[in-house]
């Protein structure tokens, strides 16, 4: 039996006589800036050089700061820092280990989710967060309405995802859209909600980006001629003119909100992305990468 800190979850072993050689591979999560090069390739500027496990970035409106989830101590916590990685500090949020984050459009209120439910509290930590939705349905993608008084979020309806809404002042959630619907994203400038639905012509998780006009209740596809993909999340640019769709294969597709035209595609192949956000015109992502070493040892009789 071979054991020890050098043996990680991803490994290959080879034995030649008494010589044992193995590879040790570890996955890192880093906040990076995704840039499209003239060649069409995507470049990543890593803020932490894989030093920390950082993911789920969300821009703080009206600032150049990011909040994100990080495993920099003994558990996943909320952190805040400048967009260049400077002045990183913990955001007090009830000592909760979290999975997802969302911020109100004025940057004052934080919503965060884990398996226990959906929690809301002030970003400055002046009062403890409170639970507004129970966790019987697992994780929640959430977005604030423009007035900051309600949360629009996804939950399970039987075996399907469905978008609901809850008032922060109290009360039970109410369904907002029929199932299947998921990944709600409220425009910061207009009464428009972006979300995803399954493509009826293809097998799940092929999905179509939809827009809901909250004044009229009418829905329409954002880009009717664009092929459906296994999209998993949506993010608006601060100006409300662009919408970023995150695919499960790690690609990012930026749409023009008014026309549905594709402005750019940042394709990272088989890599996975754990959240994305705009800070000004720059796109920050939680980027997964792997790194490892080759180890060897001599087998000896006990």
**Tens-place pLDDT, residues 89-117:** 999 998 888 888 999 999 999 999 888 88
Residue at 300 is within a domain:
no
pLDDT digits (tens, 9 = 90+) for 139-171: 578 999 999 999 999 988 888 899 999 999 988
Q: Does residue 9 lie in a domain region?
A: no
Residue among 182, 179, 191, 116 nearest 153 (CA): 182
CATH number of the domain where residue 143 is located: 2.120.10.30
Q: How confident is the model at residue 4 (pLDDT cuts 50, 70, 90)?
A: very low
Q: Does a structural domain hold residue 80?
A: yes
Summarize pLDDT for 247-290 with one digit per residue, the tens: 887 889 999 999 999 999 998 655 678 899 999 889 999 887 66
pLDDT tens digits along 176-232:
999 999 999 999 999 999 999 999 899 888 999 999 999 999 999 999 999 999 999
Decide if 10 is inside a domain: no
208 falls within a domain: yes
Q: Tell me if 4 is assigned to some domain.
A: no
Contact of 58 with 102, CB cutoff 8 Å: yes
Task: Determine, yes or no, domain membership for 301.
Answer: no
- pLDDT confidence of residue 300: 78
For the chain, the domain total comes to 1
Tell me whether the omega of the peptide bond preceding residue 205 falls within 30 degrees of 0, making it cis. Answer: yes
Under a CB-based contact definition with an 8 Å cutoff, are residues 110 and 132 in contact? Answer: no
The conformation of residue 134, written as its DSSP 8-state character, comes to: E
The answer to the question of residue 280 being in a domain is yes
Domain that holds residue 286: 30-290
Q: Name the CA dihedral angle for 236, 237, 240, 241, rounded to a multiple of 10 degrees.
A: -110
Q: Across the chain, what does the average pLDDT equal?
A: 87
Q: How far apart are CA 61 and CA 59, in angstroms?
A: 6
């Amino acid at each position: 039996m071979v054991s020890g800190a050098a043996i990680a979850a991803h490994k290959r072993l080879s034995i030649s006589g008494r010589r044992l050689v193995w590879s040790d591979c570890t996955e890192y999560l880093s906040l990076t800036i995704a840039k499209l090069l003239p060649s069409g390739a995507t470049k990543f500027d890593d803020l932490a050089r894989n030093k920390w496990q950082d993911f789920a970035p969300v821009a703080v409106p009206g600032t150049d700061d990011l909040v994100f989830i990080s495993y920099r101590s003994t558990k996943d916590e909320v952190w805040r820092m400048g967009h260049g990685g400077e002045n990183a500090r913990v955001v007090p949020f009830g000592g909760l280990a979290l999975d997802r984050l969302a911020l109100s459009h004025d940057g004052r209120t934080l919503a965060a989710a884990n398996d226990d439910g959906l929690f809301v509290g002030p970003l400055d930590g002046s009062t403890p967060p409170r639970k507004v939705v129970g966790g019987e349905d697992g994780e929640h993608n959430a977005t604030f309405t423009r007035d900051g008084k309600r949360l629009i979020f996804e939950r399970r309806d039987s075996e399907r995802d469905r978008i609901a809404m809850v008032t922060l002042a109290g009360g039970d959630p109410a369904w907002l859209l029929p199932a299947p619907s998921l990944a709600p994203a409220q425009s910061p400038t207009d009464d428009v909600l972006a979300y995803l639905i399954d493509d009826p012509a293809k097998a799940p998780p092929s999905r179509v980006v939809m827009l809901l006009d909250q004044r009229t209740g009418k829905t329409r596809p954002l880009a009717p001629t664009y092929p459906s993909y296994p999209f998993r999340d949506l993010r608006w640019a601060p100006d409300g003119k662009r919408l970023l769709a995150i695919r499960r294969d790690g690609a990012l597709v930026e749409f023009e909100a008014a026309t549905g035209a594709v402005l750019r595609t940042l394709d990272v192949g088989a890599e996975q992305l754990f959240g994305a956000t705009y800070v000004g015109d720059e796109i920050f992502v939680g980027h997964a990468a792997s790194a490892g070493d080759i180890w060897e040892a001599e087998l000896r009789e006990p």
